[in-house]
Structure 1
Amino acid sequence: MHNNKQMTFSAPFSGAVLELSHVPDPVFAGGTMGVGIAIDPLDAVLHAPFAGVVINVARTRHAVNLRADNGSEWLLHVGIDTVGLNGEGFEALVKDGERVKEGQPLLRFDLDKVARESRSLVSPLILLNGDRYSLTPARPAGPVNVGEPLLIVEGVAHETQISPNSDIRAKHARGMIRVAHNGGLHARPAALVRQTARQFASHAELHFAGASASTDSVTGLMGLGIAEQDEVEVVCLGHDSEVALQALLKALSTPSPDEKPQAPVSRITPVGNDEVDLENGILRGVTASPGLASGPLFRLDTIELEEDRGGHRPEEQRQILSEGLAQVRADVSTSLDHQHHEQSAIFATHLAMLEDPALLDAAYDAIDQGQSAAHAWSQAVLAQCAVLENLGNPLLAERANDLRDLRQRVLLTLLGDARDVAVPSGAIVIARELTPSDLLMLVQRGVGGICMAEGGATSHVAILARSKGVPCLVALGSALLDVAIDKDVALDADNGRLELKPDAARLQDIQTLRTQRFEQRQRQQQQAHLPAQTQDGVGIEVAANVASRADAENAQLNGADGVGLLRTEFLFVDRSTAPTEDEQLSAYQSVLDAMPEKPVIIRTIDVGGDKQLEYLPLPAEANPVLGLRGIRLGQARPELLDQQLRALLRIKPLARCRILLPMISEVGELRAVRARIDALASEAGISERPELGVMIEVPSAALLAGQLAEHADFLSIGTNDLSQYTLAMDRDHAGLAARVDALHPALLRLIAMTCAAAQDKGRWVGVCGALASDPLATAALIGLGVRELSVSPPQVPEIKAQIRELDVRQCEALAQHLMNLTSAEDVRDACRTFQTQVLKPQAIA
């Protein structure tokens, strides 16, 4: 029953009534969505808790929004993380705008499936306009049956009530923001925006330069041609428009953690005559992946369709396309390799494009006009490619290749033609432009190298080629496609050259160089498990930076002396809720188990700044890298840090676990965490304490290294952040990234200061930033006093081999010389000279 002042909210399920704070999701439990209550349901039908109007049914049918006759607006949400089921197991029994009676069924769902495949069945019931109403429990917590009184909803007298006839879909919010993603709104950022928008019921659009696109469409968003630092308007329509707007503004203004600065020109326009020397048989391109190779040329052509005469039955072709898309989605899903981040991110973006309504609508419209499924899909994709290529944005033009990849994948499925070409082993494959799936297929065939007439060095194919170690040139120009195949060529991707007329001596040189490089890696690998000791007997630990058990296993195979940095963020990102203590323990323990008898340094969660969590809304900051991040977030949200520390204290054996604190800027922060570890250990009855270290990432920490070393067991220098804070240059700024060089003399002085202060206190210093993985910097770091280097797992053998060729006294002399230079460029030149004069040729990378 209800009136303008009061309404009874009846139970929509039978089950156990819970307070909202007990919902296993911080967004609901913390009241971010609004006040309310929850039920752990026993039945598989959601009933209307009052008479009213359906505002909308979620696209994935896991939730319904209702407006009661007294104006209160409700979100009835079945389970936690059920949006990820994409509607599977849910059936909507009502439509948007439909009038419903109290007790009327709204949704039916597969109780077992939802219980198995979602985070929890606990269902939040949220009052969305809680500022206008008060809630009073109509019964104590415990069991309840469908239809029994659950809450008394009463209007707040001084608030203006919403008219029962008002249309909640007219409730909107809008805001302006500058896009911070490197390269603008290309494929991955567009997919991120889409993912963010899909968490909310509101419809959202981006408006830019007189055009607009729905956030549902990745290709539509890319088609707006939004560049980095362009200002866009975000418009949200719906009952949760305000919270949706804030989430989208944050998604647009915060680069993803894995984004790297894009080169100012990432796609090379048609090659000029100066790039083509056919008389001498030389084609020049852009290095996408370095390396040397030689072998026969092999051309890989794209799929071309015969003319479509039309007259097809639309229903039949719609079914053919739907089944083909479903098959490709399944294939792409199996391509998601979460142990290889770049590959996973690329194919996750492809998955989003396969669900893009702009592409699907265009294809189905063409089918309705009588075209075949294959021609309709091809036409829809190529039309969108043309839009992206005509925007004048090199990065977006490159991303059109992802669409061509999807065109090809779907066509292969529709035409029943597997991409199973007989590529000779060791061949140099040429093509106008390859797709990521082509690249992976060619790698499996054992090709020697790849050359493309088009493409760019920041394309997804280039990223995959580098990750697979395949030499690759792009942007060689149309002359490449006129070259006769089946002839032996030399590919010098190190220097951007495809040599079409190599003589026997040159081919032999290529093979000799490849053999030397291979043998060098073999020698380094054979000695990788031996200690890294300098010529004068100083031991240097070479550990590995890892983010998963798979990384740790790779590090162990490559002879790492331990884990110098386990980034725990991998557990917290790309999910809608925080990991539990048990989940964290399992992940940390698996890394420790993968590195038997070796120390593992585990850094506490380092988010904030450029790394955001969707379930942990942080206030918008004008300069996030100077705001709430690292240990500061742990201070602001102590429950997160406590949970992580409890998990770390349960690791066995605890003696091999070392805890590292990020973004420490003063001694008090360190002391507070050490005290908290003591308290949590005492509560758990744990007498042992793990070693505790701090990251030296800000100048204040380097200046206070002596005081920090009094309370820390070790110091670890994060050269990436220390560089940007010391040089006052954002390392994600596309125009400045090349100048943020950790070999700058100012950085070297801070490292020397840190090492000297720590040595006075008997503490060791390591480097876990990118500089440790740079072979050019190895001698300098040792000369500055660093005694542990944490590098990428594949580089462990190479860095160890170089250390064995060094003499610490020579390194110290080098370091003193470098600190007196005036630029990073001068430092690098001096380091190259040192390598040439001091190291044996086989020790130089």
Structure 2
Amino acid sequence: MERSTIVRVHDGLHARPATRFVKLAKSFESDIELIKADKSVSAKSSVKLMLLGVKENEEITVRATGADAIEAIEALIGYLENPRSGTEEEGASSVETKSAEPTSKPQTALYSNETKAAGNMRGVAASEGVAIGPAFGFFPAEIKHENRLLGAGEISSEIARLKQAFAMVQQRMDKSLATNNLAESDRGIIAALKDIACDDELTGSARELVHGGIDAVSAVIGATSRIAADFASMDDPYLVARADDVNAVGRQICLALLGQDDANLDAVPAGAILIAEDIGAWDLARAPLRRIAGVICGHGGATSHVAIIARAHGIPAVLGLGRSVHALQNIKTVALDGNNGDVFADPDQATADRFHEQIGKAKTEKQALRAYKDIIPKRADGTIIEIAANLGSLEEIEAAQEAGAMGVGLFRTELLFMRHIHLPSEDLQAETYATLAKAFAPYPVIVRTLDIGGDKPISGIDFPDEENPFLGWRGIRMCLDRPDVFKPQLRALLRAAVHGNIKVMLPMVSGLDEVRATRALIEECAKELEAENKAYATFDLGVMVETPAAVMIAPMLAKEVAFFSIGTNDLTQYIMAADRLNPTVAKLNDVTHPAVMAAIELTAKAGVEAGIMVGMCGEAAGRPDLIPAFVGMGLTELSMSPSSIQRAKKCVLALGQVGDQEGK
């Protein structure tokens, strides 16, 4: 029997989700296949599964034959439809998801000693930050083919030798996984490597080559090279990076066959910059990472496991230097910039001074900002300025709390809708919003109603083809036309309001009638809940000011709603008539343009005069250079990414202190 579905696993079946999927498949007796287009593979081989290249939102068929086929299909389909599959099991960290990607845009690797300054090379910016220190070269000897032809009587003993080597590597990895000093993110990576070492595709290919008369070392090199080449030919950067993992596992098996211990990183001195042509994730995960100040590597990219480990531990890294990394083998000192991919071999004094200054500033700033986590910033007149977080999912709650968020200024509900193959139920939505409310009580949680359009379609809603979806059927326009979608969300919000300080914000408002129509629906939903004897509570209703129309009628809107939240991202593109996703007009997308700042000021004035709260949830809310102007306009709430919260608190606090001094 078989069944098809749309894959909702976040980022598809990459290493960890594939590993978990295979483990689940192996728990059933049935033969199980996964089918994509016209290609099918065994669901019990993680290598074959990853090579299938299953991505999020692709259609997949699960086919099972055997006594427990029905149970197998139900379980595996459920796995594929769960966005968090592979990231939440067995305490695993989600370091392999998009949240683990570098914050700076990776640079294209240059496989030469191209210079912009003396001694400068450039690779892939894989983990942000800067570092300078003594160079520690890690260039273990290459393992070569033995090219030994076996006699008929030698094959069985060589197969036994190969089997023993695979078992030894798996045991070593199990031993590492059993230690208590391994970070959860690194544990997940080693588990994925172990799965490759156990996979039938690798073990079977190597055995076949030995049966054909090739020695075990050459067979392992041949098998891993073929599988690595398959990964390298994929069109997904993450899967391409898995070629390095296959080669790293192959190296460990060859060393076990040769009875050799691999070179290790135990001797790396504190503060050193690790330099290598290639570093296996197995080697780096077991290394004394606290001693390593930076990583430079000839292989790898921003989605490699080496990059993931470096980012998880806050280690600056530049990868993808190619063969030019060998020019760094005999240097004494090296500096690297993980923000742009620059590497300086034996930097001159001026360059070294610049790096030391940058490192000192970053360290000092990070330590100093921690003091602002629990600060409640106020204006000079004592008015509290709430510094809140912009969130898109429940997984982000912890980061916001750790940063000291004073509630949520924007919860984007569209991800909740996009994650599911069907529209999320009222109960699921109510549970999600209630979890948010409880997590931040008594601070407010502002939930934006579904803001989705033709540019981001979701299951259950058919969007028309539009020339410009940003100016089309989206946000409140779509919701009011689809009460079957909108009412369950409003009912869920009313139910969640029992558990905390829920506020509701309407996106893309351009007229008073949209607010009034929504209020009528809310009243209708409240009556329904009361009749059904379900607990609910009222909430403040506000609007997201992001259209020029909303700015122009702000004084009238302020009489209809409890708060404004200015969405600077869309407001800027609409004021400037410049698509914010179009790089050719990027220079026009400037929130500091006088026209945009005037629109913000008009909105703030209307809200202040009406006595309602005025906040901001666009990217500009976290900019220290603009916060003084926004607070001066009368904004009393600023919502931003968690990483900007402590800096924003510091900025507001400084404004209050300046005001106190001026008043004396």
Which residue is 1:192 aligned to? Answer: 55
Map 1:648-667 → 2, pairs under 5 A: 648-651=493-496, 653-654=498-499, 656-667=501-512
Match of 1:757 among 606, 609, 615: 606
**Is the 2:506–2:543 contact (alpha carbons within 8 Å) kept by the matching residues of 1?**
yes
Which residue is 1:219 aligned to? Answer: none
**Is the 2:3–2:61 contact (alpha carbons within 8 Å) kept by the matching residues of 1?**
no
The range that moved more, 755-764 or 647-656, is 647-656
The one-letter amino acid of 2:518's match is V
1:307, distance to aligned residue in structure 2 (A): 1.1
Which residue is 1:768 aligned to? Answer: 617
| Separation (CA, whole Å) in 2 of partners of 1:92 and 1:398 | 28
Match of 1:277 among 118, 122, 126: 118
Map 1:404-553 → 2, pairs under 5 A: 404-409=244-249, 412=252, 421-422=265-266, 423-432=268-277, 444-453=289-298, 465=310, 469-474=314-319, 478-484=323-329, 487-493=332-338, 497-501=342-346, 514-534=359-379, 539-553=384-398
**1:313-341 deviation digits (Å, cap 9, x = unpaired):** 7999999999999999999x99xxxxx9x
| Separation (CA, whole Å) in 2 of partners of 1:612 and 1:317 | 55
| Separation (CA, whole Å) in 2 of partners of 1:529 and 1:604 | 29
**1:62-108 deviation digits (Å, cap 9, x = unpaired):** xxxxxxxxxxxxxxxxxxxx999658647479x9xxxxxxxxxxxxx
Structure 1: gaps (5+ residues): 1-56, 62-81, 96-170, 173-186, 202-255, 335-339, 389-394, 811-845
**1:386-410 deviation digits (Å, cap 9, x = unpaired):** 656xxxxxx9789633432344256
Map 1:339-738 → 2, pairs under 5 A: 374-384=220-230, 387=233, 400-409=240-249, 412=252, 421-422=265-266, 423-432=268-277, 444-453=289-298, 465=310, 469-474=314-319, 478-484=323-329, 487-493=332-338, 497-501=342-346, 514-534=359-379, 539-614=384-459, 618=463, 621-651=466-496, 653-654=498-499, 656-685=501-530, 688-733=537-582
The one-letter amino acid of 1:192's match is K
**1:364-402 deviation digits (Å, cap 9, x = unpaired):** 9868866656334422234346656xxxxxx97896334
1:346, distance to aligned residue in structure 2 (A): 11
Which residue is 1:391 aligned to? Answer: none
| Separation (CA, whole Å) in 2 of partners of 1:484 and 1:564 | 51
> Does 2:622 correspond to 1:781?
no
Which structure is richer in relative contact order (CA contacts within 8 A, separation 6 or more)? Answer: 2
**Is the 1:377–1:407 contact (alpha carbons within 8 Å) kept by the matching residues of 2?**
no
The one-letter amino acid of 1:635's match is L
Identity between Structure 1 and Structure 2 (%): 32
The one-letter amino acid of 2:489's match is Q
| Separation (CA, whole Å) in 1 of partners of 2:332 and 2:501 | 56
| Separation (CA, whole Å) in 2 of partners of 1:327 and 1:677 | 60
For the structure 1 residues 383 and 725, does the alpha-carbon distance in structure 2 shift closer, same or farther, using more than 3 Å as the test?
same
| Separation (CA, whole Å) in 1 of partners of 2:172 and 2:562 | 52
The one-letter amino acid of 2:133's match is G
1:610, distance to aligned residue in structure 2 (A): 3.6
| Separation (CA, whole Å) in 1 of partners of 2:576 and 2:597 | 12
For the structure 1 residues 586 and 374, does the alpha-carbon distance in structure 2 shift closer, same or farther, using more than 3 Å as the test?
farther
The one-letter amino acid of 1:401's match is A
User: Does the residue aligned with 1:720 lie in a helix, a strand or coil?
Assistant: helix
**1:241-286 deviation digits (Å, cap 9, x = unpaired):** xxxxxxxxxxxxxxx99999999994133334534634xxx55556
Which residue is 1:267 aligned to? Answer: 108
The range that moved more, 306-315 or 401-410, is 306-315
For the structure 1 residues 553 and 277, does the alpha-carbon distance in structure 2 shift closer, same or farther, using more than 3 Å as the test?
same
The range that moved more, 505-514 or 565-574, is 505-514
| Separation (CA, whole Å) in 1 of partners of 2:485 and 2:642 | 29
The range that moved more, 404-413 or 346-355, is 346-355
Structure 2: gaps (5+ residues): 6-20, 39-49, 64-96, 179-183, 660-664
User: Does the residue aligned with 1:651 lie in a helix, a strand or coil?
Assistant: helix
| Separation (CA, whole Å) in 2 of partners of 1:695 and 1:325 | 57
| Separation (CA, whole Å) in 1 of partners of 2:502 and 2:162 | 57
> Does 2:587 correspond to 1:746?
no
Map 1:1-40 → 2, pairs under 5 A: none
Q: CA RMSD in A?
A: 5.4
| Separation (CA, whole Å) in 2 of partners of 1:351 and 1:697 | 50
User: Does the residue aligned with 2:388 lie in a helix, a strand or coil?
Assistant: strand
**Is the 2:480–2:517 contact (alpha carbons within 8 Å) kept by the matching residues of 1?**
no
TM-score, normalised to structure 2's length? Answer: 0.68
| Separation (CA, whole Å) in 2 of partners of 1:357 and 1:718 | 52
The one-letter amino acid of 2:580's match is R
| Separation (CA, whole Å) in 1 of partners of 2:122 and 2:316 | 14
**1:511-565 deviation digits (Å, cap 9, x = unpaired):** 6754554333333221332222345655422111123445323322322221112
| Separation (CA, whole Å) in 2 of partners of 1:614 and 1:324 | 48
1:501, distance to aligned residue in structure 2 (A): 3.6
1:703, distance to aligned residue in structure 2 (A): 3.0
The one-letter amino acid of 1:698's match is T
| Separation (CA, whole Å) in 2 of partners of 1:746 and 1:365 | 70
| Separation (CA, whole Å) in 2 of partners of 1:498 and 1:538 | 48
| Separation (CA, whole Å) in 1 of partners of 2:468 and 2:372 | 46
**Is the 2:497–2:538 contact (alpha carbons within 8 Å) kept by the matching residues of 1?**
no
**Is the 2:495–2:537 contact (alpha carbons within 8 Å) kept by the matching residues of 1?**
no
1:689, distance to aligned residue in structure 2 (A): 1.0
**Higher-strand-fraction structure:** 1
The range that moved more, 350-359 or 612-621, is 350-359
1:424, distance to aligned residue in structure 2 (A): 3.9
> Does 2:136 correspond to 1:298?
yes
The one-letter amino acid of 1:268's match is A
User: Does the residue aligned with 2:625 lie in a helix, a strand or coil?
Assistant: helix
The one-letter amino acid of 1:582's match is D
**Higher-helix-fraction structure:** 2
